[in-house]
Structure 1
Amino acid sequence: MKVSQVTVRKRLYVMLILAVVAFIALVIRLGYVQLWIGGEIAKKAEDSWRRDIPFQAKRGEILDRNGTRLAYNVSSPTILAIPVQIKDKRGTARTLSQHLGMSEEQLFKLVSKREKNVELKPGGRKLTTAKAREIRELKLPGIVVSEDNKRYYPFGSLAAHVLGFTGAYNQGLTGLELQYDERLTGLKGSVSYLSDAAGNFIPNTSDTYQPPKDGLSLQLTIDQKVQSIVERELDQAMLQHQADSVIAIAMNPNTGEIYAMASRPTYQPDKYREVPVEVYNRNLPIWMTYEPGSTFKIITLAAAVQEGKVNLEHEHFYDRGSVEVGGARLRCWKKGGHGSQTFQEVVENSCNPGFVALGQRLGKEKLFSYINDFGFGKKTGIDLKGEENGILFKLNRVGPVELATTAFGQGVSVTPIQQITAVSAAINGGKLFKPYVSKSWIHPETRTVLEETKPQLVRQVISPETSKIVREALEKVVAQGTGRNAFLDGYRVGGKTGTAQKVVNGRYSPNEHIVSFIGFAPADKPELIVYVAVDNPQGIQFGGLVVAPIVRAIMADALPSLGVAPRTKQVEKEYRYGDTPIVTVPNLVGKTVSDIYEDMNMNFQLASTGSGKTVIRQAPAAGARVERGSVIRIYLGSEE
């Protein structure tokens, strides 16, 4: 078929128009690429050529209240491989296997990966400085020593449950390390350079260094010396009593600052894999719940005094050894009872029937109102993960028996942190404070304080006048009652014992108890409060016999360490059969050893240091009051 000339022209016009349109589209596209997205494409190209060598930021230090480092980082380089730069992969793997404790095959697989950078783990991670230097000196192509660091805990297991620990990449896994991981971690840095497809450095290009930004340092309310004292005593308690666990908290009752928090069993943060998960994953002082026993009587006492339901010194109560309530017989710990006694003696003797009477005078609405106001049944809000609520009876389920048992600390469930926080309010003037362990955040370079935690008052629970009466009553418990083993001459200690049966398989066990003691000093103006609970000690199971001596030992060292001055007046201890008398240390300075042995009675033991003949110093100092039989250490030298 013959095509006309007109048709040919039309087809040419159409093709021309299409060619022009295509050319215009191409110009537009080139312009768009060049002017609009050229930078983005160039960046993508550059990114494909870029190699990064990472530099970890230093994780922020964790300090005690006085600036002592409890956790910090030490240099711990990591070995990286850049596979495209390694020509002899087999030889490189063979050489490195002799230095990194890894097999040749392991390393060969790593250096053969089609990735920009490969960590030679596990053997090439967290090396010593000497080992890193050793690898550098090999000068292996494609093998780079990258600066890294690892967490170091200089005091081992000290405050382990509070501090927590970090993982392989310095990420927080438990405790404060997890709680404040983001602020402690900081930001990574790196060195970047451009390379060709073979991984070779492209000439006439520059490196880019992005310095790491170190994490902030966290200062705690924890006092390293007090923490050490507490943990020393917990170790001794576990050894002596073969308990299932031991818990302790030391706190400033006037602010809520935690001086020490510990439990046993414990672990070392850098060896956490060596213990069961429940050991490192449960901070018992804030996690464990149990019936508190007689330490809870402080709350009933404070409520009864505040409501004017009792006069401790002038009102009497007769204890027959038990009391019947709602068809249940509730017994006193002393068989046959205490007979006629003032309510102050009810407190000193920790008499259950006497506290049942106080609970009945208050009534369930009023007693449980105070229990709630003192913070039980809900979290204190301490800045640590894992806190439990505790358990209280619902008010509509509180009958005569529940009211009676709650009044002396049975049937309710509390945590140690709730208990010490509530008792602090009872003895500090009536103020309930929120407990806390994080004191301030500090800049890692300038060391300036960026943020500081202030004491947080939750509420006023009782009046200062009531609090004073409670303090005085509890001081007499230590001087004249069940807490005599916590008596510390010169420091006016107040406190309360606790012995509670454990619930095992839904029933109260006759053989397993949690025994406790909460003590504070000085009783006229408390500056330290200590709570210790021992779970299922073997043998004797009474708070006054097992735990009161532990609290006394903690306070004896912690109070001077905190700068708390002794008092000149206190309630004198009432000595009973088996108690060790308190005697005054004589002045031995200036005397010869022969003179001392001629004059010395049987009140003390001597331990000498030095080679002279004359005493130039002694400890304890003259005038100190100690238990009879205590050791006096004398330091011998010349008279000059």
Structure 2
Amino acid sequence: MRNCKTAQKQRIFFVFVIVILCSFLLSARLVYLMVIKADHYAKKAKEVQQRERAIKAERGKIYDRNGILIAANKPVSTISVIHNQIKDKETVIRNLSVLLDIDEEKVRKRVEKKSSREKIKSNVEKNISDQIRKLNMAGVMVDEDYKRYYPYGSLASKVIGFAGGDNQGILGLEATYDSMLAGQDGSILTSTNARGIEIEGAVENRIEPVAGNDLYCSLDVNLQKFAQQEADKVMKAKKAKNVRIIMMNPQDGQIYAMVNLPEFDLNDPYKTDQKVQLSEKGTQDYLNQKWRNHCVSDTYEPGSTFKVITAASALEANVVKLNDTFQCPGYKVVEDRRIRCHKTTGHGTETFVQGVQNSCNPVFMEVGARLGTERLFQYLQKFGVLEKTGIDLSGEAATIMHQKKNVGAVELATMTFGQSFQLTPLRLLTSVSAVINGGRLVTPHVGVCMENIQQSYVRKLKYKEKADVLSSQTSETMKEILASVVSEGSGKKAAVSGYDVGAKTGTSEKLPRSSNKYIASTLGFAPAKNPIVLAIVLIDEPEGIYYGGQIAAPVISKLLDNALPYLGAKRSVQKKK
């Protein structure tokens, strides 16, 4: 009997312990839910009790260097439906289908979908959204939004870039500075009942959006317009594949104009202009090529324009004097190769300066041999040729260069006059800037500063600069030599009345050599003694005459003739009419 009582007490004690333990666990769970996870479940409760609608932030605007608006915002609306609040489904479907020009079945699927909110269409023009708002259809929401608008259409399209349907930057400056241009969306919180229907008369909590920062850039609308006009003229006249132009300030790297013909309409970037229906992949490939910034993303053999870098390196290394004489019989034999000059009959006896003026290949091959591979690569490194420029535009291509260990006498010879390697037009122009600005390697850029008037915020954008790339003495000498190329040499057609202009022409044969396709180019700067503008023109696959000094140099002349007085440089003599 005693043993029975003892067993009973043990069972009671065991049950008691279990009850205490369960109570403790339940209490701990309650503490966890009500204290530790209080914020989490409060947020969940709000999500059930409230409906949140986004208020789109206005994207920051983009201005040129003179404060001219080049990327603006257009007020539009986003139309959506809330399934639980719709009272007359058929009327909603019919009206939205007609006003938004959407197939009725597509609208029906979205209206009948049981979700808290279903978007019907975004970027709806204001006059259409006003009509929808006036119909006062229950369950149909009309929310304010913004659509990117580009006042100048195709102007500098591959530099400015565009924003997609969600206002996110896709290309160019719009993509590079997207996080600063985007702003911060606001929201409207509305109380709802258990069925998810908004409670009439309930107070709305509104969080105002914060507009994005405005971007001021170095592009100049007027210079860009003129450059595009001149590019279009020469492209049509020479039936060229494309034409590229860059105009920049060699003193600080600011890009005034960058042309990539053909350009595209920023307000309709997805237009294909194709008569044949393309596959989805084919369409995307077509658009990627259409949007490609060839000045930044495509490399080419620079040809004789690269002789600026070779000449500056040789003078700085003190392996050549201005009056050193050379012989040009029209070719030079290097190992087993007979490498010709563009003047097959030869230039005869000439000085180093005359060799630059005549763009004589044998002179530069001899200068390259004096420099040697090791020193040439040292100067290529100094001038940044082996690196990307770091421009604030995406997709920059790297230089395609021989490995130093693989450079023999033939490779060294061809490198001196810009063959057997490739770089971008922007890379060449930036390296040449160091030659004519006193020896400073600047970073080319388009963005200048960000500004937000509401927040009294201004941030000047900063870029790297490398000093002492070249001595000021060599820089002055090179400016004089390149000015003589225009006054006495192969760059005569780059001359501008009333200004001293420095230039270097180039003609490069595309690969494969047997294709007989060329790129004609010329780079020029002015005023020669203190350059404020440096420009390059590339004409890809021109028909007929294809020499840079004949067809690209005149374009440089027109660009500088327009830009110099506009930028405040005075003519030394009256321009002849």
Query: Same fold judged by TM-score > 0.5?
Result: yes
Closer, same or farther in 2 for the Cα pair 1:336/1:164, shift >3 Å? same
**Alignment correspondent of 2:84:** 84
Structure 2: how far apart are the matches of 1:13 and 1:399? 96
For the aligned residue pairs, the C-alpha RMSD in angstroms reads 2.4
In the alignment, does 2:212 pair up with 1:225? no
Q: Give the residue type in structure 1 aligned to 2:180.
A: R
Q: How do residues 390-429 of structure 1 correspond to structure 2 at under 5 angstroms?
A: 390-429=399-438
**Alignment correspondent of 1:552:** 557
Q: Which residue of the other structure, out of 317, 330, 336, is the alignment partner of 2:339?
A: 330
In the alignment, does 2:331 pair up with 1:316? no
Does structure 2 retain, via aligned residues, the 8 Å contact 1:220–1:437?
Answer: yes
- In the TM superposition, what is the alpha-carbon distance from 1:203 to its structure 2 partner? 6.0
Q: Secondary structure at the match of 1:79?
A: strand
Which whole-Å deviations, capped at 9, do the CAs of 1:191-248 have from their partners, x for residues lacking one?
1111113333336753111111111112112222212121111111211111111111
**Alignment correspondent of 2:97:** 97
Q: Give the residue type in structure 2 aligned to 1:158.
A: L
- In the TM superposition, what is the alpha-carbon distance from 1:170 to its structure 2 partner? 0.7
**Alignment correspondent of 2:487:** 479
Closer, same or farther in 2 for the Cα pair 1:210/1:317, shift >3 Å? same
Structure 2: how far apart are the matches of 1:19 and 1:456? 72
Q: Give the residue type in structure 2 aligned to 1:135.
A: I
Which whole-Å deviations, capped at 9, do the CAs of 1:307-328 have from their partners, x for residues lacking one?
333332x333232111211121
Closer, same or farther in 2 for the Cα pair 1:518/1:90, shift >3 Å? same
Structure 2: how far apart are the matches of 1:326 and 1:567? 50
Unmatched 5+ residue regions in structure 2?
Answer: 273-285
In the alignment, does 2:247 pair up with 1:238? no
Which whole-Å deviations, capped at 9, do the CAs of 1:270-292 have from their partners, x for residues lacking one?
32222422334421111111111
Does structure 2 retain, via aligned residues, the 8 Å contact 1:59–1:73?
Answer: yes
- In the TM superposition, what is the alpha-carbon distance from 1:65 to its structure 2 partner? 1.7
In the alignment, does 2:78 pair up with 1:128? no
**Alignment correspondent of 2:309:** 299
**Alignment correspondent of 1:373:** 382
**Alignment correspondent of 1:166:** 163
**Alignment correspondent of 1:583:** none
Q: Give the residue type in structure 1 aligned to 2:189.
A: S
- In the TM superposition, what is the alpha-carbon distance from 1:341 to its structure 2 partner? 2.5
**Alignment correspondent of 1:269:** 266
Does structure 2 retain, via aligned residues, the 8 Å contact 1:424–1:529?
Answer: yes
Closer, same or farther in 2 for the Cα pair 1:32/1:283, shift >3 Å? closer
In the alignment, does 2:194 pair up with 1:197? yes
Structure 1: how far apart are the matches of 2:268 and 2:313? 47
**Alignment correspondent of 1:533:** 538
Structure 2: how far apart are the matches of 1:560 and 1:456? 29
In the alignment, does 2:136 pair up with 1:139? yes
Does structure 2 retain, via aligned residues, the 8 Å contact 1:225–1:561?
Answer: no
Does structure 2 retain, via aligned residues, the 8 Å contact 1:272–1:280?
Answer: no
Which whole-Å deviations, capped at 9, do the CAs of 1:555-610 have from their partners, x for residues lacking one?
11111222222235xxxxxxxxxxxxxxxxxxxxxxxxxxxxxxxxxxxxxxxxxx
Closer, same or farther in 2 for the Cα pair 1:497/1:40, shift >3 Å? closer
Closer, same or farther in 2 for the Cα pair 1:289/1:208, shift >3 Å? same
Give 1 or 2: higher helix fraction.
2
Closer, same or farther in 2 for the Cα pair 1:357/1:89, shift >3 Å? same
Closer, same or farther in 2 for the Cα pair 1:278/1:34, shift >3 Å? closer
**Alignment correspondent of 2:299:** 289
In the alignment, does 2:441 pair up with 1:432? yes
- In the TM superposition, what is the alpha-carbon distance from 1:18 to its structure 2 partner? 6.4
Q: Secondary structure at the match of 2:224?
A: helix
In the alignment, does 2:210 pair up with 1:210? no
In the alignment, does 2:514 pair up with 1:509? yes
Structure 1: how far apart are the matches of 2:406 and 2:25? 83
**Alignment correspondent of 2:548:** 543
- In the TM superposition, what is the alpha-carbon distance from 1:514 to its structure 2 partner? 0.9
**Alignment correspondent of 2:255:** 258
**Alignment correspondent of 1:60:** 60
Q: Give the residue type in structure 2 aligned to 1:536.
A: E
Structure 1: how far apart are the matches of 2:557 and 2:535? 9
Closer, same or farther in 2 for the Cα pair 1:409/1:25, shift >3 Å? closer
In percent, how many aligned pairs have the same letter? 39
In the alignment, does 2:504 pair up with 1:500? no
Q: Give the residue type in structure 1 aligned to 2:398.
A: N
Which one has a bigger Cα radius of gyration? 1
Which whole-Å deviations, capped at 9, do the CAs of 1:446-468 have from their partners, x for residues lacking one?
5642x212453223222111111
Q: Give the residue type in structure 1 aligned to 2:425.
A: P
Does structure 2 retain, via aligned residues, the 8 Å contact 1:485–1:545?
Answer: yes
**Alignment correspondent of 1:625:** 575
Q: Which residue of the other structure, out of 362, 365, 368, is the alignment partner of 1:353?
A: 362
Q: Give the residue type in structure 2 aligned to 1:126.
A: N
Q: Give the residue type in structure 2 aligned to 1:274.
A: K
Closer, same or farther in 2 for the Cα pair 1:555/1:28, shift >3 Å? closer
Structure 2: how far apart are the matches of 1:510 and 1:20? 92
Q: Give the residue type in structure 1 aligned to 2:145.
A: D
In the alignment, does 2:164 pair up with 1:154? no
**Alignment correspondent of 1:636:** none
Structure 2: how far apart are the matches of 1:521 and 1:418? 19
Structure 1: how far apart are the matches of 2:139 and 2:116? 11
Closer, same or farther in 2 for the Cα pair 1:103/1:392, shift >3 Å? closer
- In the TM superposition, what is the alpha-carbon distance from 1:41 to its structure 2 partner? 3.3
User: Please, what TM-score do these two structures have when normalized by structure 2?
Assistant: 0.92
Which stretch of the first structure deviates more once superposed, 178-187 or 529-538? 178-187
Q: Secondary structure at the match of 1:273?
A: coil
Q: Secondary structure at the match of 1:302?
A: helix
Structure 1: how far apart are the matches of 2:330 and 2:62? 53
Q: Secondary structure at the match of 1:115?
A: coil
Closer, same or farther in 2 for the Cα pair 1:35/1:340, shift >3 Å? closer
Structure 1: how far apart are the matches of 2:539 and 2:112? 57
Closer, same or farther in 2 for the Cα pair 1:463/1:12, shift >3 Å? closer
Q: Give the residue type in structure 2 aligned to 1:509.
A: S
Structure 2: how far apart are the matches of 1:423 and 1:120? 54
In the alignment, does 2:184 pair up with 1:187? yes
Q: Give the residue type in structure 1 aligned to 2:460.
A: E
In the alignment, does 2:126 pair up with 1:117? no
Structure 2: how far apart are the matches of 1:567 and 1:195? 77
Structure 2: how far apart are the matches of 1:12 and 1:565? 108
Q: Secondary structure at the match of 2:270?
A: helix
Does structure 2 retain, via aligned residues, the 8 Å contact 1:316–1:343?
Answer: yes
- In the TM superposition, what is the alpha-carbon distance from 1:111 to its structure 2 partner? 1.3
**Alignment correspondent of 1:612:** none
Does structure 1 retain, via aligned residues, the 8 Å contact 2:155–2:263?
Answer: no
Q: Secondary structure at the match of 1:379?
A: coil
Q: Secondary structure at the match of 1:127?
A: strand
Q: Secondary structure at the match of 1:137?
A: helix
Q: Give the residue type in structure 1 aligned to 2:480.
A: E
Which whole-Å deviations, capped at 9, do the CAs of 1:316-357 have from their partners, x for residues lacking one?
323211121112111111231122233222111111112112
Q: Which residue of the other structure, out of 385, 391, 399, is the alignment partner of 1:382?
A: 391
**Alignment correspondent of 1:45:** 45
- In the TM superposition, what is the alpha-carbon distance from 1:395 to its structure 2 partner? 2.1
Does structure 2 retain, via aligned residues, the 8 Å contact 1:265–1:279?
Answer: no
Closer, same or farther in 2 for the Cα pair 1:414/1:28, shift >3 Å? closer
Structure 1: how far apart are the matches of 2:467 and 2:29? 71
Structure 2: how far apart are the matches of 1:625 and 1:344? 29
Q: Secondary structure at the match of 1:384?
A: coil
